[in-house]
Structure 1
């Protein structure tokens, strides 16, 4: 069995899926498998994936329609066999040394259950919109409860999208896989649940790229995301009352509302930029 599973839940990613898969296969850490599950896409994604059908490190799956992102994320994760797991969405990218550096971090810190790195936000053409986002104020080995509190207080996902994070697969399975009581925060809620079982390693390097597009759900549904952030903060306040205070929750909720406003404003600017360059 490989040490690492990179799992890619694809859905209507025909425009970018080859870049995503190629970034996974270009890793300097070679003891890995790439498992791709296409969620019954109707845009040619499955057909494009056939170029990888004979690759010795790739497995292709097709999951039935329905259930949204949680269904496909968990289906592709359940097919993984590696000690460590990275979920990479079908239009995002990881740097060639991403897995190597994150595996080294987890091996150097046996108490850590997840390693996270910074990421760039890129547009559909791959141009950088914002560089080196995420992680701050976290650095190095961070106790799990402290990392959870920081996430609550931030009011946003400091650890970034799944491509930024490498998780011990056994712990992810222990918490029940990708958890979606608040679907727009499926990644953050799951990270926080995993961090109840161990520590975080926060790496300063930028090792992933998150692609922003006009169909990206967290941009279009910013207000709903801030509401679900408040629910997430409340959940972990109840889980960890000695660590996460009422003040932490109030601060995080206020910051989540502000982040929603900023995201909408940034989206308007981005749309104008895309139209101008078209």
Structure 2
């Protein structure tokens, strides 16, 4: 029977009170040129009309599998959706974003052609509440600047290259909407943790990138919407507390290498990998503190915890200006030390 047929792709869409953008999102899924998919929606008892809209769409298309569950947090709902998914590939459709009609067709085509890759990654544009492109936003992201012109070329990024970059660029996979993921990846690295707040996909992304190869398709096939109701707070990324969370998530993600690449794991130097976020934490903490006396105490406490960081910080401060390019220089040196030079492990015609 048709309803028992296993779909090639499971699109999972966690839902909570986003009726304003949900209809457009659902329509971009229905408009996909690749049609062998199911759409798994779990709504957390929305009270803004989102559930009623979902029911309307489900009545018209049997590929929608819908249900409701209590509100337990964004990543709990993501995981619940993934557990219900039956497809060979999984696409997480954040409910306020959009994608081009040929998005799934091109992403699955890439992964079918390159079975050594477990994740397909595409370029993303940033839009406002009305769907207008915010020009230059994507290009200013640290990952876009780091990869430079390579972001405009098809290539395979071999693990653990992207995973190590998570120690410097904030996030390499800007959002799940950019990724088509083999279902086997979740068996390999696990689901999303729910104890990191709204940034838990950072830790999962790093975990996956440390052990999975990524195919990059240089086409802008998805759009990420910025609006006041979204869970990701852009300003929060600038705080010292956020840098501390990044440090903790890096420490949580790296041990997966013990299982899949123990020899490489032994070569890692955690203090070196954490240097950039600790420096960002220091700068943010000083900026957040008003009195000079409190600034001194903040700096002293940080250096007490990590004296090795103090030595590296003073060395870098002497030789390099205080700008983002120093972060790129630093992580490139660390990649070279680990034997992950781009011309060896990064570039590949795809």
TM above 0.5, yes or no, is yes
Q: Which of 26, 30, 43 is equivalent to 1:25?
A: 30
Alignment partner of 1:145 is 2:160: yes
Give ranges in structure 2 of 5+ residues lacking alignment.
Answer: 1-5, 258-264, 286-350
1:183 paired residue number: 197
For this pair of structures, how many residues does the alignment match? 258
Q: Which of 48, 52, 55 is equivalent to 2:53?
A: 48
Alignment partner of 1:221 is 2:236: yes
Distance 1:241 1:129, change over 3 A: farther
- Equivalent residue runs for 1:58-207 within 5 Å: 58-65=64-71, 67-130=72-135, 132-133=138-139, 136=144, 137=147, 140-154=155-169, 156-207=170-221
Q: Which of 230, 234, 247 is equivalent to 2:247?
A: 230
Distance 1:112 1:32, change over 3 A: same
RMSD between aligned residues: 2.4
Residue 204 of structure 1: CA displacement? 1.5
Residue 233 of structure 1: CA displacement? 2.4
User: Which segment drifts farther, 110-119 or 132-141?
Assistant: 132-141
Asked if 2 retains the 8 angstrom alpha-carbon contact of 1:25 and 1:34, the reply is no
Residue 44 of structure 1: CA displacement? 1.2
Between structure 1 and structure 2, the one with the greater Rg is 2
Distance 1:153 1:94 in 2: 28
Which is strand-richer, 1 or 2? 1
Question: What does the per-residue CA deviation read over 1:41-97, in whole Å, with 9 as the maximum and x for residues that have no partner?
Answer: 1111101112212212211111112x2101111111111111010111111111111
Distance 1:250 1:27 in 2: 43
Alignment partner of 1:248 is 2:273: yes
Which is helix-richer, 1 or 2? 2
Distance 1:102 1:124, change over 3 A: same
Residue 7 of structure 1: CA displacement? 0.6
TM-score, structure 2 as length reference? 0.67
Give ranges in structure 1 of 5+ residues lacking alignment.
Answer: 261-278
TM-score, structure 1 as length reference? 0.84
